Structure 1
Amino acid sequence: MMFSFTPFSDKEITHQQNLVDVLKSLGQDYPEHYIENPDSLDVKRGYDLIHKGKTKPPDGFASNAISKFYTCTSCHNVVREDPDLTVVDQDARLKYAMQNELPYLQGTTFWGAVNKESWYNDDYVLKYGSLVEKAKGSLKESINLCATVCSQGRELEDWEMKSILSYLWSLQMKIGDLDLTDKEIDHINKLAESDSDSAKAYLKSHYLTKSPATFADLPDSKEKGYPMEGRPQFGKAIYELGCQHCHHAYGESDLVLDNSILTFKWLKKHIPENSKKSIYEIIRNGSYSELGHKEYMPNYTLEKMSHQQVEDLRAYIELNLK
């Protein structure tokens, strides 16, 4: 496994340079989680921890799993998810996932996570309370919150945190990822000569520095649903790329959602219920860890699944029963 890190040059800004280094040249300090030239072995360990939950530590043969229930990729992708980095567009994200065969998940992708300036934003305080206070402004605290509470696991050791951050820095954004034209690059270079703050602001206008999170309401009537017509072709993608990512044989959930008529009948039957068996309840409210059953499902915020897309999923379920 090979990872490359592009050093920053004092010359003009180019598509190949790391975003964090360009911002540093414009007067912004490196973030607290910054690691300069991550060691390739740390990157490899971080990859294992993110994808497998454990790895070979610096001393010893094998680390203990961070969580008995999940790996980070249960809820997070590690590649770009959005064709346009400046907006929240659920349909564009879903179509991008369909084109690239990506899971359609609740968590923000780890790609570019080190370039964000806050985490666990907005309505996440409703679910995690004061725990969000430290996590919102610290990627390290966010990682530990995810490990201990969201994943129902343990706090990371120092070498594990360093390894994960090293891997995440291998997923950082470059100037070229912002889809700037050559004309726009020239504009930034000219701004940088006389007004570094404006150059920095112009760069940041081409990507979201945080992932907004809005906890959405249930429809007034689950029988009627949200007031829009479902699109089963998109519902199929949500079912396969979202639901079945965890709800499969030997998956993270005990509930297996296959493509049988019995499964679709079960889903349809529970849609109008006031229980987590209803797709409205589980998508919008998620579930919580319980005694004897620590695994739980994170909710989809409005930004991660629109009301329209919930109706798309319902339409696909109902289409399979016609």
Structure 2
Amino acid sequence: MAHGPPAVELEDLRKTYGNLVVLDRLTMRVAAGGVHALLGPNGAGKTTTVRILATLTRPDSGTARVAGHDVLRHRRQVRRAISLAGQHAALDDGQTGVENLTMLARLAGLSPSAARQRAAALLERFDLVEAAGRRVRTYSGGMRRRLDLAASLVGTPSVVFLDEPTTGLDPRSRQGLWEVIGDLARAGVTVLLTTQYLEEADRLADRITVLHQGRLAAEGTATELKQRFGAQRLELVWRDAVAFEQAAQRLGDRVTHRDPARRELSVTTDGSAPDVRRLLDDLDPDQHGVVRFTVREATLDDVFLTLTGRPTGAPQEVANV
């Protein structure tokens, strides 16, 4: 990641809607270059944060700067430095791919010839050359998202906000978009990504911020967060339902996961051989109850549950804020 002034700075940012506090004195910084993921359950404030940074929503108090520009006092400079790709592709279905990009390039102030050149370069970059002459209404979901991302780069921004960019995409299209996002970061663009796919954040992000109830719950690399808030776990499969229930009663609140249908129980462990051996001896002293066990590494799901208390995407009072 690049050194120097941060690409994004928030300090004591607050936003309310009526009695609902969406952002509660949020302070965070995003270094220039690379991918920074913003995680949180529905209603945690992710989309509101992006909208404030993109100058689409005014905060009630606090400050926010993008590329060194205050989002309230220097809106024009901020908008020149950024691009935003939201959850739904903002494209004209009646135009072709090349017509969409050329039109946006002209709106950005490029001459007709420069606009055509910019459109051609973006179509090639996003592997859309063969579909360039087709109307967008005929594009697949993955192609539409790639074209939408291409459209967001017409003006060569230094900071790109991607709000749930792979929502609704099939695994193959999601993988393709991940590659594009990685290419952007390697080219020096700062990408701020909001997502509810924890695998996506784990795969792409150089650093991760977790929001909960409008506040910063934790920040760090995926590895750092797993070490601080996750835990390795010992997954045990029991011989029958009786052994399963007896073990569950003995463990009590030490159980981190239970699946009666599969007779699976999980408990935390440090992953070392002595600790695993001790747990097995304690839980199955006669060696007749456990038929199989596995030691699992901590995941971002574990981190998320520890910090927010519920799975990603769980409903909350107000969604998509």
Structure with higher helix content: 1
Same fold (TM over 0.5): no
User: TM-score if structure 2 supplies the norm length?
Assistant: 0.23
Which structure: larger Rg?
2
> Where is the strand percentage greater, Structure 1 or Structure 2?
2
